[in-house]
């Protein structure tokens, strides 16, 4: 039995600018196997995943059902991949999430030390959300700070909501948050770093999973380019990126160099007050947790 499985799902990664190859490559050093649910794509996504050429990667061809609500499609695809995992632990990355090699040892050690402690059902990782370029990360309550990305493979873990997190299925019905420990390791989230035309296409197409044409016309008025002003507050990123991302970062410099954070919208007063309190105390008012941290 593999000790660690990785799992993910993806569809039309090239069309929407997902760094799926980099994401899967960042999982390889940690995993004995990686399960990828590859949806019915039209852009060469399947070939891109196959091009990694790693025997640890197992591809599950899937079909997306556009009549289903968007959250259900994403959760379903995640569950397909999770159900095929055979490891004691399962590490989950979405197609725009990447792990840094500097955190590998922290993750390995935690999995080894807690394998027999059945109280530990999951691990929570911290987040860097990059926006507009690879030099700025989201700051404040507009961005979630942490999420479950490693689960114990007990057979009763289910993808929750729109595949953002996980819960434990209860025998009598219903589900509860997983008991988790937080690790000082980061997920590098690049979902908001795409060429402006690609970003707009992705938002429009994914909005159709949740909304009708009238909503899209009101909320996403006709435009060819995404206007990178929707973040309220950013801060300069002073760390290093995962090595698997270096080539993409260099290639994208042709457009990321024009990102100007001074053009961001001003946050509402309540958001500014909440961010001020968080900076002062570390407490985020009303922060949602889809897990229960173990002491």
Instruction: Determine the structural domain holding residue 36 and report its residue range.
Output: 1-295
The rounded distance, in Å, linking the Cα atoms of 221 and 204 is 10
Residue 221 has a pLDDT of 67
Token output for 159: 């993808």
Question: What is residue 257's DSSP assignment?
Answer: T
> Tens place of pLDDT for every residue, the chain, 295 residues?
789 999 999 999 999 999 999 999 999 999 999 999 999 998 999 999 999 999 999 999 999 886 665 668 899 999 999 999 999 999 999 999 999 999 999 999 999 999 999 999 999 999 999 999 999 999 999 999 999 999 999 999 999 988 889 999 999 889 999 999 999 999 999 999 999 999 988 888 888 777 777 777 777 766 678 889 889 999 999 999 999 999 999 999 999 999 999 889 888 999 999 999 998 999 999 888 899 999 8
Confirm if 63 and 40 have CB atoms less than 8 A apart.
yes
C-alpha to C-alpha distances, 111 to 2, 82, 132, 157, nearest whole angstrom: 13, 18, 34, 17
What is the count of structural domains for the chain? 1
Residue 69 has a pLDDT of 59
Confirm if 31 and 107 have CB atoms less than 8 A apart.
no
Residue 7 has a pLDDT of 98
Say which CATH number the domain at 20 has: 3.90.550
Phi first, then psi: what are they for 121, rounded to 5°? -100, -15
Residue 143 has a pLDDT of 94
Q: Which residue has the tokens 């390995």?
A: 108
Q: 228: buried, middle or exposed (CB in 10 Å: 19+, 13-18, 0-12)?
A: buried
Cβ density class 66-96: b for 16+ within 10 Å, e for less: eeeebbebbbbbbbbbbbbbebbbbbbbbbb
Residue 167 has a pLDDT of 97
With a threshold of 0.75, does the pTM exceed it? Answer: yes
Residue 65 has a pLDDT of 80
């Amino acid at each position: 039995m593999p000790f660690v499985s990785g799992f993910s799902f993806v569809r039309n990664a090239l069309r929407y600018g997902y760094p799926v190859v980099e994401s899967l490559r960042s999982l390889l050093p940690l995993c004995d196997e990686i399960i990828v649910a590859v949806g019915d794509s039209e852009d060469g996504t399947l070939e891109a995943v196959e091009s990694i050429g790693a025997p640890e990667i197992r591809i599950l061809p899937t079909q997306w059902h556009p009549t289903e609500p968007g959250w259900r499609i994403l959760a379903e695809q995640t569950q397909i991949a999770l159900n095929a995992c055979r490891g004691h632990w399962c590490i989950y990355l979405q197609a725009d999430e990447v792990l840094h090699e500097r955190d590998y040892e922290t993750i390995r050690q935690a999995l080894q030390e807690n394998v027999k402690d059945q109280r530990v059902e999951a691990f929570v990782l911290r987040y860097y959300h990059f926006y507009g370029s690879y030099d700025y990360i989201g700051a404040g309550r507009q961005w979630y700070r942490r999420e479950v990305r490693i689960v114990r493979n007990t057979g009763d873990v289910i993808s929750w909501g729109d595949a953002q997190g996980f819960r434990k299925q209860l025998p009598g019905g219903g589900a509860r948050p997983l008991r988790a420990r937080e690790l000082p390791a980061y997920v590098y989230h690049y979902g908001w770093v795409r060429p402006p035309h690609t970003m707009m296409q992705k938002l429009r197409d994914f909005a159709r999973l949740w909304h009708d044409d009238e909503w899209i016309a009101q909320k996403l008025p006709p435009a060819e380019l995404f206007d990178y002003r929707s973040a309220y507050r950013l801060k300069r990123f002073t760390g290093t990126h995962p090595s698997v991302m270096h080539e993409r970062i260099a290639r994208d410099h042709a457009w990321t160099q024009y990102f100007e954070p001074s053009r961001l919208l001003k946050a509402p007063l309540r958001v500014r007050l909440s961010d001020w309190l968080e900076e002062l105390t570390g407490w985020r008012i009303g922060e949602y947790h889809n897990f229960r941290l173990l002491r």
